[in-house]
Amino acid sequence: MDSYPMSRTCPLDPPSDYGRLRADHPITRVRLDFDGSDVWLVTRHEDARAVLGDANFSSDFSTPGFPARLTSQPPGPGTFIRMDPPDHTRLRRLLVPEFTRRRMEALRPAIQRIVDGLIDAMAGRTPPVDLVEALALPLPSQVITELLGVPYDDRDFFHETTRLMGDQNVDPERRLKVRNDLRDYLDRLVAVKEEQPADDLLSRLAQGRQEAGVSREEIVGIATLLMVAGYETVANQIAVGTVALLQNPGELAGLKSGPERLAAAVEEVVRHQTVIDYGARRAATADVEVGGQLIRAGEGVVVVLASANRDEERFGDPDRLDLCRDASDHLSFGYGVHQCMGQLLARVQLQVVWETLFRRIPDLRLAVPVEKVPFRYDMFVYGVHELPVTW
């Protein structure tokens, strides 16, 4: 029996074992290094969609057989990604008006101003410069804090909090304490928003929660989830996506000469560099056959999004970064009722940052060989710890 997670041999490609599994054992039993439990590993695109779109596979942490992740502590109230309908529906519905395409596009000018300011500061420094510290981290941090109405002065607290929560080497008790510290902070902030509402998402949630049948504790949980999910994933997508673009100069040249390809290019980079490195976890609540394999009620499942996004049956020559490819049905943002709520916001940030970065600094390049870049092999969200660049 294979163990999971599996090791990469190339930093810009998922483990090569995934290709073997897709060909020979697309749905197979593996043993989790986290806790020694056995689960089904799903590696093909078609099977991944089948599991993620089937209500018989639960996202609820408390469902028998659900794959644990280093800690047995259940998520707090409001963490709707770890809930099933109807509670998932009740909480997610509260956010739907906040993440419409129209509202996200309305944020584009503000995001552009943030990116311009960060690149102004970056370009004014003597290279090499760490792109993570200068751009990848502060952009989503500013965006999500402004969106929620969180004081940006507290950004260092959020940087450290999300770093510790995503580090698999951190003791589970410390990770739990950090998560609770973040919830305590946001609890105090929600209390302020209830008394002194402003024009921000957190104020609207706090003001509308009673009518929606949502508790204050659940609002705090939603805010915690949005802070973590809206920050670390985008930051690492910017960083590792930039590495991939710089390592493919022919594709990057096409992007620079054809900005109308930007939206499609972002989809391909997100497909090629899937930062959700540990898959989507589910537990079967009924006996279900997927891809010819019977999965029984009470058995855990891990859907490997990075493998599904490199499935040869769906994407021709999948290991090649091809910015002209139609990658629109990649699974980097998930699939089904749990598809990422903030995917439109993430797309706008990625479009703005890469268009502006390579227009403003067209001869940007790595300052060290790619082998010297410290990739995040030790984190739940893949990316790089730092990215030295020059021009």
pLDDT value of position 281: 94
Contact at 8 Å (CB) between 229 and 342? yes
Contact at 8 Å (CB) between 171 and 117? no
Contact at 8 Å (CB) between 307 and 47? no
Q: Which residue has the tokens 């599994």?
A: 21
Contact at 8 Å (CB) between 255 and 358? yes
Contact at 8 Å (CB) between 160 and 132? no
Mean pLDDT of 123-152: 92
pLDDT at 152 over 80: no
Q: How many CB atoms lie within 10 A of CB 374?
A: 14
Contact at 8 Å (CB) between 219 and 206? yes
pLDDT band at 372 (very low <50, low <70, confident <90, very high): very high
Amino acid letter for position 255: L
pLDDT tens profile 72-96: 566 778 888 889 999 999 999 999 9
Mean pLDDT of 271-281: 93
**Which comes out higher in pLDDT, residue 378 or 340?**
340
Composition of the chain by helix, strand, coil, percent to 5: 50, 10, 35
pLDDT value of position 156: 77
pLDDT value of position 70: 45
Cα 321 to chain centroid, rounded: 20
pLDDT value of position 164: 76
Which one of 77-81, 167-171, 205-209, 320-324 scores highest in mean pLDDT? 320-324
The C-alpha atoms of residue 197 and residue 53 are separated, in whole angstroms, by: 38
pLDDT value of position 145: 87
pLDDT band at 174 (very low <50, low <70, confident <90, very high): confident
Mean pLDDT of 256-271: 91
Token couple for 92: 């997610």
Tell me the CATH class for 2-390.
mainly alpha
pLDDT value of position 73: 60
pLDDT tens profile 199-242: 999 999 988 888 888 899 999 999 888 888 888 899 999 999 99
pLDDT value of position 259: 78
**Which comes out higher in pLDDT, residue 172 or 353?**
353
pLDDT value of position 167: 64
pTM (2 d.p.):
0.92
pLDDT value of position 57: 98
The C-alpha atoms of residue 362 and residue 364 are separated, in whole angstroms, by: 6
Mean pLDDT of 127-131: 97
pLDDT value of position 69: 62
pLDDT value of position 207: 87
Q: What is the DSSP string of 159-184?
A: HHHHHHHTBTTS-HHHHHHHHHHHHH
pLDDT tens profile 28-72: 999 998 788 999 999 999 999 999 999 999 999 889 999 976 455
pLDDT band at 155 (very low <50, low <70, confident <90, very high): confident
pLDDT value of position 59: 95
**Which comes out higher in pLDDT, residue 78 or 134?**
134
pLDDT at 278 over 50: yes
pLDDT value of position 274: 97
For 13-154, strand residue ranges (E) read 27-32, 38-42, 57-58, 129-130
pLDDT at 166 over 70: no
Helix axes 172-195, 216-246, angle to 10 degrees: 120
Q: Nearest 10 degrees: CA dihedral of 217, 221, 223, 227? A: 150
